[in-house]
Structure formats: C-alpha cells, structure tokens
C-alpha cells in the first residue's frame, strides 16, 4: 500500500478552538556528542525532550519529524547549535515556537589535590531552550562535601559531614556563552571541600582537614555560590540550590536562592 | 552538659547581605492521614518538604522545628489544614514566608464497569502551598488508556493503544475546595477509556470496545481535559499534561496545555 | 452480553510443553496494615508482586484473582499470615507453587539520645515467601552514620563521615518469628552511630562525639552486623550489606557478607 | 607531608575472623567504549560496580585501585576483555576472587519495516563476571509490543495492547561469545511486534496489523523466547522475563522462565 493513500489525520482541522502549548516527544535516550571547552568534544548519552506549539485549528503534530531532526544534529550539540535545532523544529513542524531540552552526564578530568592522580568526574547537566525566549538555560548538578559548623562548634571533637548535591541553573543570552565548566567551578568552590573520583591517602588527609577548617551550613553554601554567580558575565538569571544528604538524619537539609539580574 | 551551654550558631548574624528564598527540610518519608470526601479520612505515606525564607541578617534556621510541626499535624492534612501548618511554620521559625509540599498516593475504591467488582486504585497526588500566595496547588497523576486515531484509520484492523499518565495541576483560592476526586474524574473522562485495578472478562470486553470507539491523540487528551477543567468552579489556573507511553516506540508522546483563568 | 459467552482463552491448552516458573501481577501499589510488635498494627503503603507457577499444559493464568486475594488480606499482613496468602493463591489459581513479595516503609517511634524527643523513623522493608520453601525472607534497609577510621588516623583533626544504607536479608522458618525490629536494631548497632528524624543541639553533640570515638570502615560495618546476626535465634541464612555514600567521592563504598547457618 | 608517614590502617590485621564476600566500589558513572559486532565499537555511559573478596585477617581493601583499573580499561570493554579486568583486580588488590558488573545503554541502528527509515534504538544492557565462575552473564532489556489474545477474542473489534519490557539473562563460557545483538533479536521476535524509534505512517499501519494478527499473553512471550534461546549455541543457563505495562490496569502482568542447560 502506498503512503499517499494513508489518510493524514494529524493534519486535519480541530474544532475545539484550544491551542496547545507543547506537543512532541519525551524521554528519548540517544547517544550524542557535546562540544566542550577543554577537549573539543565528548561522547555521552542524553535524555531528550522536543516540543512545539500547536495552533488551535490543527488536530495533531507529526511525531517522527522530531526524531529525524535529532538524528541530524546529534553529533555536535552545544548552546550555539541549539538555536539551529529550534529553527529546524519550527520550519519542519510548521510551528510558531519550539522547545528543546537535553539532559546528560558531562565528564571532566580532575586531578587529586596532593597526589595529582587524574580520573573522570561526572556531572549531571541539562540544556534547555525555547524559540520564544531570548535566552537559553544551563543546569549543572555538582556533588560537594559539607561539614556542619554547629556540630563542630558544640562538639569536643569531630563534626558531622556529608555529600551535598548543588544544583545551579543559569539563563544567558545567545551572544554570551556561559560555560558548564565555569558553573561547575562555582559549585565546587562553595562547599567545605570539592570531591573527587580517585584519591590517595595524602589527598584524603588534605580534604578531611580542609573541610574541618571550612565548615558550612546549607545556607552558607547557597550564599557562597550566589556571590560567585553574580560575578559571571552574561548571566541574566540564576538559581542556586543545595541538598545536603545529612549523615545524622534520614532526610535532607535544603536551601535555595534565586536572583534576577536583568 | 546542659543545652544552655551549647552555642546557637544558627541564630548568629550573617554579614553577606544575601537573603535566602527557601531553607528547610526535604524528602521526609512520613505516615500521614489525609482527609477525603468519601471516606472521611485515609491513611497513606507521604514525602514532605518544608521551607521558610531567611532574612539576610540571620545565618541559619532551626531544622528540628520543621519535624516537630509535621509531627503535630500528621493526623489530619487537607487543603484547609495547610493554612494552619504554614502559620505554625512562620511563627515557630520566625519567618516571613513558609512553603509546604506533600506528595502521597491517594486511594479510591473503584467498581469495574460491567461486573461491578470493587478494588482500590492508587493516584499519586501532591499538595503545595506558600504563605505568600492566596492560593494552594493540587496535582493529580492519573493513568488512562489512549488508542491512536491514526493507527485505527490507516489499518485494516486493530489500533495501537497504551497506558498514558495524565498530570493535572490546579491552583485555587482557600475559600474554595477543589476536590482531588473531581480532578481525577476530569482525567478519567479525557482518554479513550479509564483503567482499573480489577477487571473480569466482561469488563475487559467493554473497555476494549469503548476505547476502539473513542480514539484520542495525546493532543485530544489535553484538549478534552481542558474543556472539563474550565467548568470547575474556583479554579484560578491549571495545567494539563499527558505522557503516552507509546506501545510502538521506546519513548513517549507528550502534550501540555496551561491556562490562567484569573 | 453475559460472562458465560466470553471464551476463556487462558484456560485452553498450550502445546509448546514449556512450564512457566512464575506468572502473575507486579508492581501493585496498595494500602496495607502491617502487624507490628510494639503498636499491634500500623498503616502503610506497599508495593506488591504475586506469582504462581503454570504447568506446561495451560496457556495462561487468571490475573484478576491475585487482586481479589490481596484485597481480602490487606488489613493484616505479617510473617505468619503470609502462609495463608500463599495457600489461597495456590488453591484459587490452581497452582502448585505460589510466590508473594511485599515492600513497604515501616515506621518506628524513636527517641533522641539526650533530649528524649520523639519522632518517627522510616525503614524500607520487604517480606517475601514461596510455598515451595520452608522459610520466609525479611529484608530491612537502615540508614546509619559511618565515620572513616583512615581519615581520622591520618588527619590532624576531623574525619570524613556520611550516611550509609545497610541492607540485611534474613531467612527463617515459619515456627520462628524474626522481628523486623530486632534486625533494625542489629543494623543500628553496627555503624559509627545510629541516626534520627529529630535532634536537638545536645543530641547532635552526642552523636558527633560518639561517631568520632567509634570509626568504622564499610568492612567493619558488615563484620559488626554479622557478629550480631549470628546470635539471633531461628536465622537459617542471612546477608548483610552496607553502601556508604562517601562524602569525599561521587560513588559508594560497598561490602557484603553472606552466611548460611543451616 | 609525605605519603610514607600516613599509616595504612586498611592493611592492618582484623581479629574478628570473619571473611568478607565482596568489598569495593559501587555506582560509578563512567564513559566507556563497548566493542560491538556491527560497528566495531560504540561510545556509551556506564554504571559500574567492582568488588573483591577480603580474607578474614585483613581489615580493609584499597578503594582507589579499583578506579585506576577501570580508568585503564574503559576504552575497550567486551565479554573477552572482562577476564583481563578480573585478573588485574585480583593481582592489584591481592584478592582471591574479583567481581565486575557494568550496566549501559547499547545502541543499534534499526530500519523501519516498510519505509526503511533508520534511527537508533537503545537497549539497557548489563555484563557481569566473577573470577570464581567459568562463565560470564549478559543481560538485555528490550521493549516490545504485546497485544492481548483474550481481549481480541472476546471483543467485537480492537484489542488492548501495550509496551512490554523483556529481560533476558544469559550465562555462557568464555570460549563462546554470546552476542548482545543475538539476544536482542530473540526478544524482538517473541512479542506481537517489535518496536522502533522512528516510524512513518506506512510503518505504523504495518505494525498495527502485524500485532493484531499475532496476539500474545505474557506467558506466550516468555515461552516464545525460551524456544529461541534453546537454539543459541554456548548458552549454559538463561532466564527470560516479560513485564507487560498493561494499558487497562495500573500494574504489570509478569512472567518468567528460567532454564539450566548444563
């Protein structure tokens, strides 16, 4: 049977007069190549969502075209290329607005602080953009170590500490590149100590002592990061969160600061 | 050692002049009693977040007080009681604004459409409120069956269908109760058929035929729900989403409509 | 249309001569009442799997009967009642063997070590049984605090510590009740300190100092728990695991000991 | 401070006389290159666990060495290379037995059945091996479409269908390579139809009709796969599971067959 004989219901009119904000494909697992500042590019695996708006007079969109567009662009994605992806989505899906969201582990080589031994650290990142906004949004999730100032102060020795997950979201205009690497740096400078994949004993001693000398509440972490974020050029808006997976509790301590710099 | 001798670092001043939007406890698993329209109350297990703001001149908040407040209110939570929880948070944590979020499975007895056999269906729900808003927000997640109109139209027999997860979020003022049960009803009326925990053969026949007679795209589902949501009294804002876990793909089809009725 | 006219395909013969080990329903969310030693009973929400075997000559099983059986027993489940559930499954599904698995958060009131303030702690538990075994299996997941002996030894001050999740699985015969509460106690005695939902400053001081005085590697945790498990009457087999969510790394340290006492 | 002055507590003796089955690192996210039959190699992102045993007289193992070994081998992992990884773990960690587990999305180019349009499908896979076993284990998770024979039989038109996730685990000796691609093929031949990332209307018609002509219960799926698995050379043991995410229910139908061919 030929394709031409198959009725295209999606293109038929709809009579309810209700436009749809977003319609498309969600939760696609796809291998992609992300462009990065240090290594040029890196292979990773992404989870992708792609949506367009749908005017009130159309019944449906054409889902397979999203996958074709992703297929074409998967070998080089960064904040600048996202604009081209949004344009392709608009023109090939006949839409007024397009939305693109991609989540992926981003890897950086990191040297241990004393031994200098290198290994890869993973940071869960997200890049999102809409054709009807003049900014894109970058999100990084960064694990750090936090040591409690109260516990240190009131105890004769020791202090409880734990892994904290910092989430920083940034909006920036397309004329400026906000580097993932710079935002990760902000997060790793805001806790009691940064953390690593590979540590030797001399590194462990260094981190233990550094964090004891530098205790932070969850409130301090987000304030520290806020001070640093305010110095990055081109940031229009940011949100800084920290979730401390408390070692003395079975729940998290949490704080958030949100700032509009426009 | 007495409590009085332990220095209270959290209450000491902070000099960075940065206020914190939200600080508190996150991801607490707690048994709660939710008030419901049909049965008066139901026991369930919740995941709870509680935050307050922190003025720029304080260094930290007092995390244990959140748990004490939750403990006191866990035996009767509904949209009206949430106001009291927010007030307690503000006064006991000396804050200007308080935020309360609770997620929980909500159970309803449901009779199969032909046999009438009864069993419990679970719906994942969420209730969120902030003291600086004059509304609360209710979210329900409802599984329904969706059968593809295109597949039905172009095929000589059969049509692919699948489980879809509808998410409806509603904001309403405190003078109006928007019942979880009513929002679930909207969702269950918007797909090709509603679904059940317990079905006999005669019920399965009924649902299979009903859904074949009533095909819907993901776009139709959110439009159907939008028409119904616009008729519920007291709704200030709503968002309707559907995620169809496509049986012919390894990703989802997705649509969203968002509407401000103020 | 009457039920009698609907052909019962599941009961028809199958010609491939392949028996099926397990067939049934999986991932049911249901409110249940668990019997407990201290409070008599507690309301919680469970995730349930129920399977039977299927001889080679039958084509299918009758899925709705599983839900009917669960419905009948949901108001009082414990290790003894599980035997009756298995018997009902066998007779109502015409099967030779039946399998029942239930996972649920279990709550215990816990007093802080110095202030004595009480709050509920949640422990994720699992109960599993098969009619063809003469034992049942209980699993508890218990968060504890672990403080690193190496970090303490090599550092001039402080020591990194973190939340660890201990998992203990126990098999026991039906003539003996192995109490969830006793297994939780083993886990909470095996780390550097147990942890709590609600702590005042004097409690935080106590826990900080106690854990600094009692450093444990992940290897020590499972050895400590093994020594305690060997003393519990009626245990036929156990496995003890600990996953330390390292505060200096982005991965976990892990250890397991498995012991057959038959 | 020099490394030599830092006491190596892990290497000190332990007096409890309890050997540890497994100790090591868990839940490492790492970019790896997997060798594959069609394309030579593919970049993906893995979740890795690495353990060794610990004799009763040692107190602890050396966690950083696991990461060093992973680092060295990450650019070429397959079933044959795993033997070398296990050997390195044994010798560098001074252990008698070593365990390696790696989970990763595996991508294959797949052409739509009528249009021939190509796109990538993702399959979640796992490779596990222990130095004390003379086999390795491969696991693939494959989504397929299942259409209910009972629903088709009793209904005047239509039939409910859904996405099913098949899990096949295989053990094979090192002298034989069991290809991931072959096991995926078994799964994709066992449901009502295989599924795709990218489909045009003529493909959707084809799949809809094919699945209606080929209805399968969850029991049929695992029996179909069992017949095919028994024909693959070199298989010592396998388990076949299917979890049908029922479109008429909020839970899954499930079946498993396990077979020892030694």
Domain co-membership, D44 together with D123 = no
Rounded CA-CA distance B11/B60 in Å is: 6
Give tens-digit pLDDT for D11-26. Answer: 888 878 899 999 999 9
Residues of chain A with pLDDT under 50: 1-3
Contact (CB, 8 A) for B165 and B203: no
- pLDDT level of residue B31 (50, 70, 90 thresholds): very high
How many CB atoms sit inside 10 A of residue D8's CB?
15
Cα B230-B231-B233 angle, rounded to 5 deg: 105
**Residue (of A21, A45, A40, C251) closest to D64 by Cα position:** C251
- Does residue A123 sit in the same domain as residue A248? yes
d(CA D1, CA D213): 74
3-state secondary structure of D136: strand
Assigned token pair, D61: 């193992």
Yes or no: say if C192 and C211 are a contact pair by the CB < 8 Å rule: yes
Residue D2 falls inside a structural domain: no
On whether residue C3 sits in a domain, the answer given is no
CB B155 within 8 A of CB D161: no
pLDDT per residue as tens digits for the range C130-148 = 999 999 999 999 999 999 9
- Of D9 and A156, the one with more pLDDT: A156
Is A1 inside a domain boundary? no
Task: Answer whether A107 sits within 8 Å of D31, measured CB to CB.
Answer: yes
For residue D261, give the nearest of D165, D135, D148 by alpha carbon.
D135
CA-nearest of A180, A82, A72, A73 to A134 is A82
- Give the Cα separation of D247 and B146 in Å (integer): 8
Looking at the structure, tell me whether residues A21 and A140 fall in a common domain.
no
Q: Do both B85 and B160 map to the same domain?
A: no
Burial class (CB within 10 angstroms; exposed 0-12, middle 13-18, buried 19+) of A136: buried
How many other C-beta atoms lie within 10 A of the C-beta of residue C210? Answer: 17
Domain assignment present for residue A2? The answer is no
Same domain, A118 and A238: yes
pLDDT of residue D58: 81
What is the model's pLDDT at position A140? Answer: 98
Query: Which residues on chain B place their C-beta less than 8 Å from a C-beta of chain C?
Result: 1-3, 6, 8, 28-31, 42-45, 64, 67-68, 71, 105, 107, 115, 117, 119-120, 122, 197-202, 205
DSSP conformational letter for B4: G
Q: What is the pLDDT confidence band of residue B84, given thresholds at 50, 70 and 90?
A: very high
- Of D162, C123, D160, C47, nearest to B122 (Cα)? C47
Residue C15 has pLDDT above 90, yes or no: no
Contact flag D251-C153 (C-beta cutoff 8 Å)? no
A215 by DSSP, 3-state: which? coil
Contact A199 C245 (CB under 8 A): no
Q: Could you tell me the pLDDT band of residue D10, with boundaries at 50, 70 and 90?
A: confident
A135-147 vs D98-111, strand pairing mode: unpaired
Q: Is residue D3 part of a domain?
A: no
pLDDT of amino acid A9:
81
Would you state the structure tokens that stand for residue B51, as one six-digit string? 């935050």
The predicted model scores a pTM of 0.95
Question: Residue C192: what are its φ and ψ, rounded to 5°?
Answer: -75, -35
> Which residue in the set B23, B29, B219 is minimally distant from A219, CB to CB?
B23
Residues of chain B neighbouring C42 (CB-CB closer than 8 A): 31
Based on the domain organization, do C124 and C95 belong to the same domain?
no
Say if residue C173 is in the same domain as residue C89.
no
Query: Quick one: pLDDT band at residue C2, thresholds 50, 70, 90?
Result: very low
Give the tens place of pLDDT for each residue, B101-139: 999 999 999 999 999 999 999 999 999 999 999 999 999
SS3 category, B77: strand
Residue D99 φ/ψ region, left for φ over 0, alpha for ψ in the -120 to 50 degree band, beta for the rest: beta
- Residue D224's alpha-carbon distances to C9, C121, C177, D195, D231, in angstroms, are 17, 46, 42, 17, 12
Mean pLDDT for D25-45 is 92
Q: Is the pLDDT at D177 greater than 90, yes or no?
A: no
Residue A51 DSSP label: E
Angle at alpha carbon of residue D72, lines to D70 and D74, rounded to 5°: 60
Predicted complex: ipTM over 0.90 = yes
Examine the domain organization and report whether B83 and B152 are in the same domain.
no
The closest CB to that of D252, out of C26, C217, C220, belongs to: C26
Distance from CA of C24 to the nearest CA of D (A): 5
Contacts of A26 in chain B (CB under 8 A): 243, 251-254
| CA C25 to chain CA centroid, nearest Å | 19
CB–CB of D144/D188 below 8 Å?
yes
Suggest the residue from C169, C222, C245, C251 to mutate for an interface test with chain D (most D CBs closer than 10 A).
Answer: C251
Number of folded domains in chain A? 2
Judgement on whether residues D229 and D153 belong to the same structural domain of the protein: yes
pLDDT at A97: 96
SS3 state at B240: strand
Measured CA to CA, the distance from residue C79 to residue C185 in angstroms comes to 18
Residue D65 has phi, psi (to 5 degrees) of: -65, -30
Contact A245 C161 (CB under 8 A): no
Distance from the A257 Cα atom to the nearest Cα atom in chain B, whole angstroms: 5
Asked whether residue B41 is domain-assigned, the answer is yes
Q: Which of A65, A82, A104 is the last residue of a domain?
A: A104
Chains contacting chain A through 3 or more C-beta pairs under 8 A: B, C, D
Say how far apart CA A50 and CA B257 lie, in whole Å: 15
For residue D147, which residues of chain B lie inside 8 Å, CB to CB?
Answer: 158
B182-217 burial, b for 16+ CB within 10 Å, e for fewer?
bbbbbbbebbbbbbbbbbbbbbbbbbbbbbbeebbb
Residues of C within 8 A of B28 (CB-CB) are 197
Cβ–Cβ gap D122/B208 under 8 Å: no
Q: Identify whether the C-beta of residue B251 lies closer than 8 Å to the C-beta of residue A49.
A: no
SS3 D133: coil
pLDDT value at residue C4: 53
Whether residue C254 and residue D25 make contact (CB cut-off 8 A), yes or no, is yes
CA D4 from centre of chain: 43
DSSP annotation of A11: G
**Domain check: are C34 and C57 in the same one?**
yes
CB contact under 8 A, B26 and A223: no
CA distance D165 to D150: 20
Q: Are residues D14 and D64 in the same domain?
A: yes
Q: Which chains are within 8 Å of B by 3+ CB pairs?
A: A, C, D
CB atoms within 10 A of CB C206: 20
Give the per-residue pLDDT at B60. 83
CB contact under 8 Å between D59 and C25, yes or no, is no
Find, in chain B, the residue whose alpha carbon is nearest to that of A30. Answer: B251
Which residue bears the tokens 């201290």? C38
Rounded Cα distance between D207 and D202, Å, is: 9
Domain with D34 in it: 8-104
Percent of chain B clearing pLDDT 70 (strictly above): 98
Q: Inter-axis angle of helices C63-73 and C81-92, to 10 degrees?
A: 150
**Which residues pair with residue A79 across a beta bridge?**
none
**DSSP class per residue in A87-117:** HHHHHHTT-S-EEEEEEEEEEEEEE-TTT--
Which residues lie below 8 Å from residue D116, measured CB to CB, with a gap of 6+?
none
D209 belongs to a structural domain: yes
Q: What is the DSSP letter of B232?
A: S
* Same domain? B148 vs B260: yes
B218 closest CA partner among B126, B124, B122, B150: B150
Q: Looking at residue B101, what is its pLDDT?
A: 98
Residue C209: band (very low, low, confident or very high) from pLDDT cuts 50, 70, 90? very high
Kindly report the backbone phi and psi dihedral angles of residue A125, in degrees, each rounded to the nearest multiple of 5, phi listed first. Answer: -120, 165
**What is the sign of the dihedral through the CA atoms of A15, A18, A19 and A20?**
negative
Cα D92 to chain centroid distance, Å, stands at: 27
C-alpha distance from residue C230 to each of B207, C193, C261, D13 (Å): 54, 21, 8, 22
In this predicted structure, the answer to whether residue D47 has a pLDDT above a threshold of 60 is yes
Q: What is the pLDDT of residue D2?
A: 44
Query: CA-to-CA distance for A210 and D203, rounded, in angstroms?
Result: 61
Per-residue pLDDT, averaged over D161-181, amounts to: 95
| Interaxial angle between packed helices D218-229 and D180-188, expressed in degrees from 0 to 180 and rounded to the nearest 10 | 140
Q: Would you tell me how many other CB atoms lie within 10 Å of the CB of residue C96?
A: 12
CATH assignment of the domain containing D16: 3.10.270.10
Q: Nearest-CA distance from A43 to chain D in Å? A: 6
CB atoms within 10 A of CB B38: 9
- Of the three residues D83, D104, D125, the one that is the final residue of a domain is D104
Q: Is C231 left (phi over 0), alpha (psi -120 to 50) or beta?
A: alpha
Q: Render pLDDT for D98-134 as a digit per residue (tens, 0 to 9).
A: 999 999 999 999 999 999 999 999 999 999 999 999 9
Residue ending a domain, among C72, C87, C104, is C104
pLDDT at res. B37: 85
What's the mean pLDDT in B227-249? 96
Q: What is the CA radius of gyration of chain C?
A: 22
Which has more pLDDT, B56 or B260?
Answer: B260
Domain contains C250: yes
What is the distance between the alpha carbons of residues C255 and B89, in angstroms, rounded to a whole number? 41
């Amino acid at each position: 049977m030929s394709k031409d004989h198959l009725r295209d219901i999606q293109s038929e009119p709809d009579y309810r007069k209700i436009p749809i904000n977003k319609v498309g494909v969600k939760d696609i697992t796809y291998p992609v190549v992300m462009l990065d500042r240090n290594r040029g590019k890196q292979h990773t695996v992404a989870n992708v969502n792609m949506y367009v708006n749908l005017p009130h007079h159309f019944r449906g969109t054409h889902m397979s075209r999203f996958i074709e567009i992703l297929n074409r662009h998967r070998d080089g994605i960064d904040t600048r290329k996202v604009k081209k992806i949004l344009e392709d989505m608009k023109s090939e899906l006949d839409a007024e607005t397009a939305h693109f969201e991609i989540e992926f582990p981003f890897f950086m080589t990191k040297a241990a602080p004393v031994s200098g031994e290198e290994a890869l650290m993973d940071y869960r990142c997200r890049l999102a953009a809409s054709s009807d906004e003049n900014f894109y949004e970058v999100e990084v999730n960064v694990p750090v170590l936090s040591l409690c100032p109260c516990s240190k102060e009131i105890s004769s020795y020791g202090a409880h500490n734990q892994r904290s997950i910092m989430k920083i979201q940034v909006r920036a205009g397309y004329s400026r590149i906000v580097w993932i690497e710079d935002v990760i740096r902000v997060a790793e400078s805001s806790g009691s100590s940064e953390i690593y994949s590979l540590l030797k004993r001399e590194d462990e001693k260094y981190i233990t002592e550094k964090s004891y000398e530098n205790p932070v509440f969850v409130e301090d972490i987000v304030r520290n990061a806020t001070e640093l974020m305010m110095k990055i050029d081109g940031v229009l808006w940011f949100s800084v969160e920290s979730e401390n997976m408390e070692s003395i509790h079975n729940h998290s301590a949490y704080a958030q600061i949100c700032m509009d710099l426009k």
